């Protein structure tokens, strides 16, 4: 398969500010994944993190790669080597992305490998951001979409198993993200299932922003909004555990601050569920910059650790918590420490939310069964 390996030298420039820079170094060191350098005194360029982005010539990646190179994902002291993969017909556009990365002059970007060859792209990677997927076309049934993507993520799971680091952290963004992640996981038998995840952070970010706008506070004051289940129209935005912090001495439950149960049930939930479609209707293109931001948030919290007392939404391998069948890739509230996530336990689930959890669980189980039936077919 045609390939082009393009490398650039580490060159001077300025690092964009990142939320993790506001944390104390000692706190970062106690929570960060061992492969992440959080020490400003450590300038060892040989410790660069190898990060794969698939669909690298696409819209989301066009925002994402510059965020990674600037330090927004892994912090201001962690150099990176970007592995960029796309299909052969996108090679010229991919070369253009590399040129812009050169021109951006990010000092943390040690080199770029831009290729259309799967083996080259996956070899030695420590973080895999699987952004590319086959999009749903006009009149295409979800079953047909799932079948095409099963073949794509079967190949990528096999590549992860053969060529990636044994501790690679995998985030699947391409839809249907939960089941695509499950497909890749099933083909990577030598890798821990806990190292696979799918993106629901965009849905969480959307939900938090809507709550902030509703009650008139900054989004940074909205905490512990949960997205349960599938990244689809059955996802379950849940604010029953969420709270607002407008000062160090004032903590207010979101339900109390909103004080409108009808709005929360009949407007807020469907607005979050349908936000992606609303963006497409408005800009005639799918979410890109906001999706890239959510990818950064997801990986930053996973590898650098979540804040004390807060949890985030990640679609991860179910261990049976909250009666979700084991083995589904399901969005839960989690906390993260040293590159490991833990599902938050013991949350009280209302009957209203439980009914919606049952619906999204049913959908994910059906998707899993269908994907496994496709995987059992001869290639």
Q: What's the CATH number where 254 sits?
A: 3.90.110.10
Name, in order, each residue with C-beta under 8 angstroms of 92's C-beta and a sequence gap of 6 or more: none
The pLDDT-based confidence of 29 (bands split at 50, 70, 90) is: low
Q: What is the pLDDT of residue 28?
A: 58
Collapse the DSSP code of 127 into the 3-class scheme (helix H, G, I; strand E, B; otherwise coil) and give the result: strand
Which tokens in the block code for residue 114? 């831009």
Token pair listed for 49: 């993190």
Query: Where does a domain end: 198, 231, 257?
Result: 198
What pLDDT, on the 0 to 100 scale, is given for residue 377? 83
In three-state secondary structure terms, 174 is coil
pLDDT confidence of residue 247: 65
Q: Are 111 and 171 contained in the same domain?
A: yes
204 and 340 belong to one structural domain: yes
pLDDT of residue 45: 59
Q: Residue 45 and residue 132: Cα distance in Å, rounded?
A: 29
**Is there a single domain that holds both residue 178 and residue 212?**
no
* Structural domain boundaries, residue 158: 49-198
Residue 301 resides in a domain: yes
Residue 160 has pLDDT above 50, yes or no: yes
Question: pLDDT: is 39 or 304 the higher one?
Answer: 304
pLDDT in the model for residue 22: 41
- Asked if the structure places residue 344 within a domain, the reply is yes
With respect to residue 379, please indicate whether it lies within any of the assigned structural domains.
no
Q: Which residues pair with 253 in a beta bridge?
A: 243
Average pLDDT of the residues in 188-215: 98
Chain centroid, CA 61 distance in Å: 12
Q: Is residue 282 part of a domain?
A: yes
Residue 33 has pLDDT above 60, yes or no: yes
Q: pLDDT category, 248, cuts 50, 70, 90?
A: low
pLDDT (0 to 100) of residue 4: 40
**322 and 184, same structural domain?**
no
Residues 135 and 246 in one domain: no
Question: How confident is residue 136, by pLDDT bands cut at 50, 70 and 90?
Answer: confident
Query: 306 and 347: one domain?
Result: yes
- The answer to whether residue 21 is domain-embedded is no
Cβ distance 131 to 60 under 8 Å? yes
pLDDT of residue 46: 59
Confidence of residue 41 (pLDDT cuts 50, 70, 90): confident
Residue 229 carries which DSSP code? B
pLDDT for 7? 34
**Interval 165-191: pLDDT, tens:** 999 999 999 999 999 999 999 999 999
Check whether residue 290 and residue 226 sit in a common domain: yes
Domain boundary pick from 154, 172, 198: 198
Our count of domains for the chain comes to 2
- Segment 302-316 shows an average pLDDT of 96
Indicate whether 318 pLDDT > 60: yes
Same domain, 60 and 144: yes
Spatial contact of 160 and 129, defined as CB atoms under 8 Å apart: no
DSSP 67-100: HHHHTTTT-TT--EEEEEE--GGGHHHHHHHHHH
Beta bridge partners of 172: 130, 198
Domain-embedded: residue 118: yes
Whether 209 and 339 share a structural domain: yes
Can you give the three-state secondary structure of 249-307, one letter per residue?
Answer: CEEEEHHHHHCCHHHHHHHHHHHHHCHHHHHHHHHCCCCCHHHHHHHHHHHHHHHHCCC
Question: Residue 345 above 60 pLDDT?
Answer: yes
Within 10 angstroms of residue 147's Cβ, the number of other Cβ atoms is 16
How large a percentage of the chain has pLDDT more than 70? 89
- Residue 70: which CATH number? 3.40.50.720
The predicted pLDDT at position 360 comes to 98
Sheet holding 49-54, edge to edge: 109-115, 80-85, 49-54, 127-130, 169-172, 196-198, 312-317, 329-337, 340-343
The pLDDT of residue 142 = 75
Q: Are residues 188 and 295 in the same domain?
A: no
Q: 247 or 209: which carries more pLDDT confidence? A: 209
- Domain membership of residue 3 (yes or no) is no
Check pLDDT > 60 for residue 312.
yes
Domain boundary among 167, 198, 229: 198
Copy the structure tokens of residue 31.
Answer: 């929570």
Residue positions annotated with a catalytic role: 231
Rounded mean pLDDT, 285-297: 95
Mean pLDDT of 87-94: 96
pLDDT at 15 over 70: no
Please check whether residue 248 lies inside any domain of the structure: yes
Same-domain status, 150 and 206: no
252/346 same-domain check: yes
Residue 262 pLDDT exceeds 90: yes
């Amino acid at each position: 398969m045609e390939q082009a390996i393009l490398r650039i030298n580490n060159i001077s420039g300025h690092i964009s500010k990142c939320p993790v820079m506001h944390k104390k170094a000692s706190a970062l060191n106690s929570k960060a994944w061992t492969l992440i350098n959080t020490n400003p005194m450590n300038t060892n360029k040989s410790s660069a993190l190898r990060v794969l982005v698939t669909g690298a010539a696409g819209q989301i990646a066009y925002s994402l790669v510059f965020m990674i190179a600037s330090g927004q994902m892994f912090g201001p002291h962690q150099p990176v080597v970007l592995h960029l993969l796309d299909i052969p017909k996108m090679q010229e556009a991919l070369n253009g992305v590399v040129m812009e990365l050169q021109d951006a002059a990010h000092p943390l970007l040690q080199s770029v490998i831009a290729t259309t060859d799967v083996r080259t792209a996956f070899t030695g990677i420590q973080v895999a951001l699987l952004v590319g997927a086959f999009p749903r076309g006009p009149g295409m049934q979800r079953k047909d979409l799932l079948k095409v993507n099963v073949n794509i993520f079967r190949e990528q799971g096999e590549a992860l198993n053969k060529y990636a680091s044994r501790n690679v952290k995998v985030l699947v963004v391409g839809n249907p993200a939960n089941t695509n992640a499950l497909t890749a996981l099933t083909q990577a038998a030598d890798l821990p299932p806990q190292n696979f995840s799918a993106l629901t952070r965009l849905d969480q970010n959307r939900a938090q922003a809507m709550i902030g706008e509703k009650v008139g506070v900054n989004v940074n004051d909205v905490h512990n909004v949960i997205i349960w289940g599938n990244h689809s129209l059955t996802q379950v935005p849940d604010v029953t555990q969420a709270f607002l912090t407008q000062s160090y001495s004032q903590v207010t439950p979101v339900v109390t601050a909103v004080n409108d149960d009808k709005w929360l049930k009949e407007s807020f939930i469907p607005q979050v569920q349908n936000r992606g479609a609303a963006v497409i209707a408005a800009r005639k293109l799918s979410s890109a910059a906001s999706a890239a931001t959510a990818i950064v948030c997801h990986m930053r919290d996973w590898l650098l650790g979540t804040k004390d007392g807060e949890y985030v939404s990640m679609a991860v391998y179910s261990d049976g918590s909250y009666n979700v069948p084991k083995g589904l890739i399901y969005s839960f509230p989690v906390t993260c420490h040293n590159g490991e996530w833990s599902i938050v336990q013991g949350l009280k689930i209302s009957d209203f939310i439980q009914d919606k959890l049952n619906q999204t669980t049913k959908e994910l189980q059906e998707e899993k069964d269908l994907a496994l039936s496709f995987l059992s077919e001869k290639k």
